[in-house]
């Protein structure tokens, strides 16, 4: 068997092992629950048989003595099942705090494997887990700190087939995902299953947090807005930027994940979710108990907005709230549009196809090996369209930087490009100064970017410009990343 097959086999066995352990733990928990006095879930004073173990009183003592938590709040945490979808920059800190706070059951869902470039922000993962499932890496670390929690691994991507089935086994969901199509799916499924979602996102230096489908008395139907109420229509694909493309600062996404854990603790310990399982009467909900702020406190819809480099980094934005005609949580004018368990939409179509553009004819594209050979020839100019920051990290010797944003701004080939090509021509052969530069025959301009998408767009713009009619214009398949792997002399990042 090859190393790869062995490796995959090990991963599969580990997953199976973790799933079996989780099953045992959950069965044991159920056994305990069945043998406990029936009133234990709502009882607010300790009886002769303490509901927490001596170890738990000590472990949770510092939060237990706060009036917002108290014994009722701690018991609610213990009796709540939370699903964390996405064990990345948001999911890692969120899972850490929920596990240490004593949430009884934590489900962790992610299909991804740990990569080196995750570690600057995904604080649960360690070097030992590179190439192995994030879910198992996280559970390993979480269990080391708090073995009282039942951890349930879901090593899978969330899709319209499995979403409802998984989500309905939990009381509260944390959306820690990284793409709009999953965010809409999580919200739609949670609305159908009647679950609250704490949803956060982050990019570069900013973050956003909303609580979706939250029990509240200030909205008709007793629920706050869903994700579609906040964002009724998906953004155009070209405006969706991932952390891999746009970058993200670890503490920024960390703050958002911690805030998700905090919202979850507040919602759970207040008892707000108890009405969700079996709708309680309004009186009962409003009555309250020590450590209960009650689900009935009117709370206008809001979005927390974190802009870490702003002089006022935290803002609470007042939002409109539920849309009466929402196709997920409302009553659409056309009843056929209403999303139900059997009509969860196809989010790939809804949010547009994935990236990886194919704009150029293959004959106008070059491999990194070809261009690597051409470097240094006097009639070859390499133009790199990555931004200045990335160009400053690593670049091909002799290449010129004309950031892509300049191309997008003008919608045409920027002056900076013509200047760069002209200067390159001059420095390559000072004697023929008059002849070189724009319009020179036999010149090849090669455009390079990070992955080979922007470079195609830029090359196309140059090809369509009459000033370049005598040149050969090409771009590099796979960009600087491929260059680092195949040619060398630059680094992969």
Closest Cα to residue 106, out of 82, 139, 85?
A: 82
Annotated ligand binding at 226? The verdict is yes
Q: State the binding string over 233-252 for another protein (x if CB under 8 A, else -).
A: xxxx-xxxxxx--x-x----
Annotated ligand binding at 118? The verdict is yes
CB 122, min distance to another protein, A: 10
Q: Does 253 bind another protein (CB under 8 A)?
A: yes
Annotated ligand binding at 441? The verdict is no
CB 447, min distance to another protein, A: 19
Hey, how many other C-beta atoms are within 10 angstroms of the C-beta on 275? 18
Cα angle 450, 454, 455; round to 5: 80
CA distance 272 to 285: 8
For another protein, the binding residue among 25, 163, 202, 420 (CB under 8 A) is 202
Q: State the binding string over 93-132 for another protein (x if CB under 8 A, else -).
A: ----------------------------------------
Which of the residues 92, 176, 243, 351 is marked catalytic? 243
Q: How far is CA 473 from CA 54, 378, 383, in A?
A: 73, 15, 11
Whose tokens are 């056929």? That residue is 336
Q: Does 190 bind another protein (CB under 8 A)?
A: no
Whose tokens are 């309680």? That residue is 280
Number of helices (H), then strands (E), in the chain: 20, 13
Stretch of 3-11, 153-161, 314-322, 481-489 contacting another protein, by CB under 8 A: 314-322
Phi, then psi, of 403 in degrees rounded to 5: -55, 145
Nearer to another protein, 202 or 480 (CB): 202
The two structure tokens encoding residue 201: 């996102």
CA distance 226 to 342: 19
Closest Cα to residue 25, out of 124, 106, 129?
A: 106
Stretch of 309-317, 416-424, 439-447, 468-476 contacting another protein, by CB under 8 A: 309-317
Stretch of 73-81, 131-139, 175-183, 465-473 contacting another protein, by CB under 8 A: 175-183
Nearer to another protein, 180 or 452 (CB): 180
Q: State the binding string over 34-73 for another protein (x if CB under 8 A, else -).
A: ----------------------------------------
Stretch of 84-92, 100-108, 434-442, 448-456 contacting another protein, by CB under 8 A: 84-92
DSSP annotation of 272 reads: T
CA distance 318 to 172: 23
**Is residue 445 packed enough to be buried (19+ CB in 10 Å), middle (13-18) or exposed (0-12)?**
buried
CA distance 472 to 452: 18
DSSP annotation of 73 reads: H
Nearer to another protein, 235 or 355 (CB): 235
CB 475, min distance to another protein, A: 20
Would you call 449 a catalytic residue per the annotation?
A: yes
Site residues for another protein per CB under 8 A: 86, 88-91, 176-180, 183, 200-204, 206-208, 230-236, 238-243, 246, 248, 253, 256, 303, 305, 307, 310, 315-320, 405, 408-411
Q: Which residues are catalytic?
A: 243, 449
């Amino acid at each position: 068997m090859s190393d790869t097959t062995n490796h995959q086999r090990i991963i599969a066995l580990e997953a199976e092992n973790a799933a079996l352990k989780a099953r045992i733990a959950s069965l044991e928990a159920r056994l305990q629950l069945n043998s406990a006095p029936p009133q234990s879930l709502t009882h607010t004073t300790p009886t002769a048989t303490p509901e927490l173990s001596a170890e738990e009183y000590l472990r949770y003592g510092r939060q237990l003595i706060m009036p917002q938590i108290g014994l009722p709040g701690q018991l609610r945490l213990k009796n709540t099942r939370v699903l964390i979808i996405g064990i990345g920059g948001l999911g890692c800190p969120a899972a850490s705090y929920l596990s240490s706070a004593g949430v009884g059951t934590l489900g962790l869902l992610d299909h991804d494997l740990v990569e080196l470039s995750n570690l600057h922000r995904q604080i649960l993962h360690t070097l030992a887990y590179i190439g192995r499932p994030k879910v198992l890496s996280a559970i390993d670390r979480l269990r080391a700190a708090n073995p009282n929690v039942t951890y349930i691994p879901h090593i899978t991507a969330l899709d319209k087939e499995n979403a409802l089935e998984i989500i309905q086994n939990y009381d509260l969901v944390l959306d820690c995902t990284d793409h709009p199509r999953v965010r809409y799916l999580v919200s739609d499924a949670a609305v159908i299953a009647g679950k609250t979602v704490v949803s956060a996102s982050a990019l570069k230096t900013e973050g956003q947090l909303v609580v979706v489908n939250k029990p509240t008395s200030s909205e008709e139907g007793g629920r706050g807005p869903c994700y579609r109420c906040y964002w009724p229509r998906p953004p155009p694909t070209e405006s969706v930027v991932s952390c891999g493309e746009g970058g993200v600062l670890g503490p920024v996404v960390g703050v958002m994940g911690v805030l998700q854990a905090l919202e979850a603790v507040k919602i759970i310990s207040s008892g707000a979710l108890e009405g969700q399982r079996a709708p309680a009467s309004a009186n009962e909900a409003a009555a309250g108990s020590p450590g209960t702020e009650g689900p009935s406190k009117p709370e206008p819809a809001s979005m927390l907005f974190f802009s870490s480099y702003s002089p006022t980094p935290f803002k609470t934005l007042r939002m409109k709230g539920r849309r009466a005609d929402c196709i997920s949580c409302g009553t659409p004018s056309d009843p056929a549009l209403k999303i139900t368990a059997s009509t969860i939409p196809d989010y790939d179509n809804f949010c547009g196809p994935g990236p990886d553009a194919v704009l150029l004819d293959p004959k106008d594209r070059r491999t990194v090996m070809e261009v690597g050979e051409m470097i240094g020839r006097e009639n070859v100019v390499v133009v790199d369209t990555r931004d200045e920051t990335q160009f400053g990290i690593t670049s091909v010797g002799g290449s010129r930087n004309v950031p892509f944003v300049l191309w997008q701004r003008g919608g045409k080939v920027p002056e900076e490009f013509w200047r760069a090509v002209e200067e390159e021509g001059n420095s390559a052969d000072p004697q023929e100064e008059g002849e070189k530069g724009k319009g020179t025959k036999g010149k090849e301009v090669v455009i390079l970017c990070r992955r080979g998408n922007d470079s195609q767009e830029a090359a196309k713009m140059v090809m369509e410009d009459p000033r370049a009619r005598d040149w050969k214009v090409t771009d590099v398949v796979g960009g600087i990343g491929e260059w680092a792997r195949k040619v060398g002399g630059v680094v992969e990042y």
